[in-house]
Amino acid sequence: MYAAGDPRAALAKPSERKAPAPTAFSGAEYAKFYETAPRDDDASGRSWYMRGQNFILCYSETKPEAAFVRQGHPDEYAVLIPDRDVAVEITAAGETVMVPGHSIAFVPPGDSRITLPEGGRIVRLFSFKAKDLASKCSNADSYAEPHPNIPPFEPWPEPKGGYRVRHYSLDVKGEQGRFGRIFRCTNFMINYLEPKAGPRDTSKLSPHFHDDFEQCSLALDGDFIHDIRWPWIPDMAAWREDEHERCAAPSAAVIPPPATHTTRAIGPGLNQLVDIFSPPRVDFSMKEGWVLNADDYPMPDRT
C-alpha cells in the first residue's frame, strides 16, 4: 500500500503476477558496517562485504591511490560513487575512463582496474558469480543454500553497442510521476533515491511486498528503521515475528520476498538510501521514463 501521490501506486500489484503461494520464508539480512571490523584492511583502505542471493555488495572507505583489480571477471559489475569530490579511474575493455564523483558506472566483464587518486568511499556491486568475493561476505553462511521464493537468476541482454565502461551522473532532477533515479545494467537495477532531510512522516509510509525478488536497501547517510512483516500461512511453524531493525549509515539490509516492508528515516539530518535489485525489475522498467539509461540497456524479449 502506497501513500497518495507515490508514483509506485500505479504499478501492477505483486499478486497479479500469480507467484506460487509461499510455504517457507527466509529472514532479513542486516550488515551494519559501522559496528563491525572490515573484511579487508590494507593499503587501499577498509572494505566490508555482504550479500543477497544474486549479488554481493562491497562498501569501501579508501585511501589515496587505492586500487581494486579484477581479472577474468565473468560478468558486468557496478560502481557507485556517492560523493561529489571522489573521482574514480576505471580501466577495462581496452580503455581508461575517469568517472567524476556523484556517478554510477558499469564495468564490462574481463580484466578491470579501479583507482581512486584521492581516495574516498565507493560501493561495488557484483553478481553471485564472483565466488572469491562471496566467501568474504559477513553473511555468507546464510546463503549456503538458496533462499525460498526467489527464481533462478537470469541476466538481461547485453548493452547496445557492446560492453564498455558506461557512467551516468546522479545529478538528475526529480520529475512528477517518476520514482527516484533508476539505472540498470545486465544484472542490476539501482535506484538512488531522493535524499531526505530529517525523519520520514510516519503517516505517509509505503508498506508493500515483492512476490519473488529481494530488495537491498543501502544506507549511505543518516539513520533508518526497516519495518518488516512476514505473512501468515497455514503452517504456523513457518511464521516469523515482525522486525523493526534500526540501521544507521553505513549499512545494508536485504529484505526477502514476500515480506511486507517499509523503511523510515529517523535521522535529524541527511538521510540517503539506495535500493538495489538483481536482476533488474520488470515493473519499474515498464514505466516510461523511469529507467534513465534504458536506451543503453534493452529489456529481455520475454517481457
Query: Which tens digit of pLDDT belongs to each residue from 220-270?
Result: 999 999 999 999 999 999 999 999 999 999 999 999 999 999 999 999 999
CA separation, residue 169 to residues 103, 105, 211 (Å)? 4, 9, 31
- CATH number of the domain that 106 lies in? 2.60.120.10
pLDDT at 1: 67
In a domain, 301, yes or no: no
Rounded Cα distance between 170 and 182, Å, is 9
pLDDT at 303: 46
In a domain, 110, yes or no: yes
Query: Which tens digit of pLDDT belongs to each residue from 60-98?
Result: 999 999 999 999 999 999 999 999 999 999 999 999 999
In a domain, 261, yes or no: yes
Q: For 169-192, what is the mean pLDDT?
A: 96
Q: With bands split at pLDDT 50, 70 and 90, how would you rate the model's confidence at 16?
A: low
**Does 4 score more than 70 pLDDT?**
no
* Domain span including residue 61: 7-286
In a domain, 293, yes or no: no
Query: Which tens digit of pLDDT belongs to each residue from 185-199?
Result: 999 999 999 999 999
Count up the domains in the chain and report the number: 1
Report which secondary-structure segment, H or E, holds 191: strand 189-192
pLDDT > 70 fraction of the chain, expressed in percent and rounded: 96
In a domain, 49, yes or no: yes
